[in-house]
């Protein structure tokens, strides 16, 4: 069952969202295969969330199902490079029941809209391991375009093989950005 645009919403991640279920996502090898965040603690996650609010370097949003109000993943705007007007956009669907149903691409579209309209970000970028085909497709469906590829960037070690894979850069540009407005954007105040 594919999800519709109206089925997903994003909202600021709350400290209360960081619980055992949340932490279990980051202990799951399938979920974290292409993530840097692994085996994190509740305390570390809460500190990281609060640090983003305080510094304004990044903002983490919960990806939620509208009907159940169920938190199924995160999308992070940041780190934001305000001088250049650019930001990374990092997405994870932690609840594997919603993999392959369009949740990530819908959340990406909604985060782009928020970041462009409210934050006046000039450009979003993401870099993805070429083996993570689902993520690449989600970003492309969400409004990003492939911009560059660095060949043989990642060294992936399996039980029996070494696989070199590419780093794929995708991006999305805002033609109506406002650098002055981005300098002071604080979405959670």
Assign 3-class secondary structure to 5-65.
HHHEEEEECCHHHCCHHHHHHCCCHHHHCCCCCCCCCHHHHHHHHHHHHHHCCCEEEEEEE
The answer as to whether 189 is a domain residue is no
Residue 145 has pLDDT above 90, yes or no: yes
The answer as to whether 126 is a domain residue is yes
Range of the domain at 36: 5-184
The CATH number of residue 31's host domain is 3.40.630.30
Q: Higher model confidence: residue 188 or residue 174?
A: 174
Q: Decide if 58 contacts 52 (C-beta within 8 A).
A: yes
What domain count does the chain have? 1
Say if residue 79 is preceded by a cis peptide, omega within 30 of 0.
yes
- Compute the Cα dihedral for 114, 116, 122, 126 and give only its sign: positive
Rounded-to-5 percentages of helix, strand, coil across the chain: 35, 35, 30
Residue 179 has pLDDT above 90, yes or no: yes
Four-point Cα dihedral 91, 183, 147, 88, nearest 10: -20
The answer as to whether 53 is a domain residue is yes
Cα separation, 111 vs 90, in Å, equals 10
Q: Which of 168, 9, 175, 173 is nearest to 87 (CA)?
A: 173
Residue 74 has pLDDT above 80, yes or no: yes
Q: What is the pLDDT of residues 26-45, one digit of tens each?
A: 988 889 888 887 778 999 99
Predicted pLDDT of residue 17 = 96
Predicted pLDDT of residue 36 = 82
The answer as to whether 12 is a domain residue is yes
The mean pLDDT value of the chain amounts to 93
The answer as to whether 88 is a domain residue is yes
The answer as to whether 151 is a domain residue is yes
Cα separation, 86 vs 2, in Å, equals 31
Q: What is the pLDDT of residues 90-138, one digit of tens each?
A: 999 999 999 999 999 999 999 999 999 999 999 999 999 999 999 999 9
The answer as to whether 156 is a domain residue is yes
Residue 189 has pLDDT above 70, yes or no: no
Question: DSSP label at 75?
Answer: E
Predicted pLDDT of residue 124 = 98
**Residue recorded with tokens 């794929």:** 168
């Amino acid at each position: 069952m594919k999800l519709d645009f109206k089925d997903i919403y994003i909202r600021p991640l709350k400290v209360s969202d960081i619980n055992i279920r949340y932490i279990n996502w980051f202990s799951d090898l399938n979920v974290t295969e292409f993530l840097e965040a692994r085996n994190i603690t509740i305390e570390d996650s809460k500190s990281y969330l609060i640090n983003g609010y305080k510094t304004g370097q990044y903002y983490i949003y919960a990806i939620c199902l509208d009907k159940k109000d169920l938190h199924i993943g995160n999308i992070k705007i940041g780190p934001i490079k305000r001088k250049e007007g650019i930001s990374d956009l990092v997405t994870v669907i932690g609840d594997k029941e919603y993999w392959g149903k369009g949740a990530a691409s819908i959340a990406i579209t909604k985060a782009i809209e928020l970041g462009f309209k409210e934050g006046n970000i000039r450009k979003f970028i993401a870099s993805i391991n070429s083996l993570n085909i689902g993520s690449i497709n989600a970003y492309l469906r969400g409004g990003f375009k492939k911009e560059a590829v660095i060949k043989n960037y990642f060294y992936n070690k399996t039980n029996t093989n070494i696989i070199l894979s590419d780093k794929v850069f995708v991006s999305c540009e805002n033609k109506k950005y406002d650098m002055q407005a981005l300098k002071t954007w604080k979405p959670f105040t």
